[in-house]
Amino acid sequence: MTSIKLCVAGATGRMGSTLIREAITRGFKITGAIAAKDDPNVNKTLREAGICDLNVKIVDPSRIMEAAKEADVYISFTTPEAEVVNIPIVADLGKKIVMGTTGFTEEQMRKIRDAVSNKVPAVFSPNFAIGINILFNLLRMIKMFPAEYDVSIIEMHHSGKKDAPSGTAKKMGEIIAEAKGYTSVTYGREGISVRKPGELEILAVRAGGIPGVHEVIIAGPHEIIRIEHTAFSRSVFAQGALYAAEWVYRQDKPGIYSMNDVLGLS
């Protein structure tokens, strides 16, 4: 058991609230909770908001310094717009960071990286599930397939997910594109749309409450391989993020790290 102190941003969201409950069962201390300015739970305690049995007050982002003050690690699952504002403040405070938010533009991610990389150790990952991070490494073997084998990605998520394709599918796409030499991505097909050489295919499905399914299809002329990862619940992401928090807590060297570093796979 650990007594690492956490400030959680996006505390009332699907991931933030799951993470808080998981953190408590694992012995972490929650010392701060942040939600969006207009969130109806701002100024309530985590208990009053029905998240867990703690008197920690949920504050809006204008009070981020106060919320993060006592924390060893700041953990965030919010929106790209929120991270661009919040993460530089937290890095200036010298707090270690674990961030799982996805859907950034290149410019937003550049701003965040610039604000963090020389100041504090931080773990950024589009997917904290251990299985997915090992799968990222397995996908590098795709370079062994003959050129005529096509690779496609299908991802499925709940209908409330904002960004598409998922950050995980994008990361898989980067690895596959490097292995196969793909130079373009097609995100769906309609009408006459024959697959071109050099083209990676990524399809996104949004339905019901699916926490996350990613499937990689590798198809040659006479055979198909399908590799699927299914998250049973958000707990898998919460557990991985807490594992990252324990790891980053022990790091002194500023920089942006990945789950490969956390899992010792680099």
Ligand X SMILES: NC(=O)c1ccc[n+]([C@@H]2O[C@H](COP(=O)([O-])OP(=O)(O)OC[C@H]3O[C@@H](n4cnc5c(N)ncnc54)[C@H](OP(=O)(O)O)[C@@H]3O)[C@@H](O)[C@H]2O)c1
Residue among 102 and 152 whose Cβ is closer to ligand X = 102
**Could you say which of 2, 5, 14, 215 contacts ligand X (CB under 6 A)?**
14
222 annotated active-site: no
Among 74, 128, 243, 247, binds ligand X (CB under 6 A): 128
DSSP assigned state of 120 = S
How many whole angstroms from its chain centre is CA 146?
Answer: 32
d(CA 133, CA 110): 23
CA atoms of 208 and 33, how far apart (whole Å): 28
Of the listed 95, 96, 119, 161, which one is catalytic? 161
- Among residues 183, 175, 184, 187, the alpha carbon closest in space to that of 142 is found at 175
- Cβ neighbors of 91 (< 8 A, separation 6 or more) are 97, 115, 116, 119, 120, 122
| Closest distance of CB 71 from ligand X, Å | 14
Does 121 contact ligand X by CB under 6 A?
A: no
82 binds ligand X (CB under 6 A): yes
CA-CA-CA-CA dihedral for 177, 179, 182, 183, to nearest 10: 70
Applying the rule CB under 6 A, the residues between 22 and 51 that interact with ligand X are: 34-36, 39
In the region spanning residues 140 to 179, those forming contacts with ligand X, defined by CB under 6 A, are 163
Query: How many whole angstroms separate alpha carbon 175 and alpha carbon 161?
Result: 23
Does position 255 bind ligand X by CB under 6 A? no
Q: Which among 14-22, 110-118, 215-223, 244-252 is the span making contact with ligand X, rule CB under 6 A?
A: 14-22
Among 7, 8, 30, 127, binds ligand X (CB under 6 A): 127
Residue 12 interacts with ligand X (CB under 6 A): yes or no: yes
Tell me if 68 contacts ligand X by CB under 6 A. no
d(CA 2, CA 161): 32
Q: Which of 9, 112, 177, 244 is in the footprint of ligand X by CB under 6 A?
A: 9
Question: Shortest approach of ligand X to residue 238 CB, angstroms?
Answer: 8
- Catalytic-residue membership of 170: no
**CB closer to ligand X out of 150 and 165:** 165
Alpha carbon distance 93, 32 (integer Å):
14
Beta strand extents in 40-169 (DSSP E only): 58-59, 73-76, 96-99, 121-124, 150-157
Return the CA Rg of the chain: 19
Catalytic pick from 95, 96, 157, 170?
157
> Which DSSP helix (H) or strand (E) runs through 127?
none
Q: Which residue from 74, 97, 101, 257 is in contact with ligand X, where contact means CB under 6 A? A: 101
Distance between CA atoms of residues 109 and 128, nearest Å: 18
User: For ligand X, which is the closer residue by CB, 50 or 197?
Assistant: 50
Q: Which residue's beta carbon is nearest to the bound ligand X?
A: 13
Nearer to ligand X, 4 or 244 (CB): 244
| Residues recognised as catalytic | 157, 161
Residues forming contacts to ligand X in the complex (CB under 6 A) are 9-10, 12-16, 34-36, 39, 61, 77-79, 82, 86, 100-103, 125-128, 163, 237
